[in-house]
A and B are shown apart, each in its own frame.
Chain A
Amino acid sequence: GESVGLHLPTLSVQEGDNSIINCAYSNSASDYFIWYKQESGKGPQFIIDIRSNMDKRQGQRVTVLLNKTVKHLSLQIAATQPGDSAVYFCAEIMNRDDKIIFGKGTRLHILP
């Protein structure tokens, strides 16, 4: 079915610590996964993506891990900053011309 879910609706992290946001997806045929960041009043902002033939991809301060065996996706943010406060969505696409299926999102709250 169409289901991309997140384990935790809210995550509070101390500033400077690393953040890990988790996501479970249900469609084993999905070929492409994306993490989006959405700040209040704005549209989703692309953070990082990963294809199903990879298990790890790194960007600037962010890493996405994909475990296809258990259909799990995670986003790691290093040295979390106040500007990282937002709702994070994992999303999946079955193929290039297909729609994006979003989960409900995890709100990341940064503690001073």
Chain B
Amino acid sequence: ETGVTQSPTHLIKTRGQQVTLRCSSQSGHNTVSWYQQALGQGPQFIFQYYREEENGRGNFPPRFSGLQFPNYSSELNVNALELDDSALYLCASRTGTEETQYFGPGTRLLVL
């Protein structure tokens, strides 16, 4: 196991609702990234947080937002859910000096 935990494991929402996903990074890791993985695809980068600041963002609209807390845990918020937001959402953490990211088990979101 990587030491990265995510909650909840599964979630069902309806279109237009809002969702918050949570991630606890591995001990000593101050950088957290979020990825969206559609079925049968590779993970796509959403954004990255370092020391509570967003320091990188992929091609996702502003309704995808995040937070990082002083203990380096993180949240992913998605507003105005759309059907295409159905996916596995992965959190990954790393130290500030290494490239290797370690992934959590993911949260599977289904939007109906």
Q: Which residues of A are in contact with B by a Cβ distance under 8 Å?
A: 4, 32, 34, 36, 41-46, 49, 89, 91, 93, 96-105
Q: Are A42 and B90 in contact (CB under 8 A)?
A: no
Q: Which residues of B are in contact with A by a Cβ distance under 8 Å?
A: 2, 4, 33, 35, 40-45, 48, 50, 55-56, 58, 90, 92, 97-106
Q: A102-B42, A104-B41, A105-B42 are in contact. Are A49 and B99 (CB under 8 A)?
A: yes
- Min C-beta distance of B39 to chain A, whole Å: 11
CA separation between A59 and B93, bound complex, in Å? 22
- Min C-beta distance of A107 to chain B, whole Å: 10
Q: A43-B105, A45-B2, A105-B42 are in contact. Are A97 and B90 (CB under 8 A)?
A: no
15 CB contacts below 8 A, A to B, read: A34-B100, A41-B105, A42-B105, A42-B106, A43-B104, A43-B105, A44-B103, A45-B103, A91-B42, A96-B99, A98-B56, A99-B48, A100-B33, A101-B45, A103-B42
Checking B45, B98, B104 against A100 with a beta-carbon cut-off of 8 angstroms, the contacting residue is: B45
Q: Which 4 A-B pairs have the closest CB atoms?
A: A102-B42, A43-B103, A99-B45, A44-B103
Q: Are A102 and B43 in contact (CB under 8 A)?
A: yes
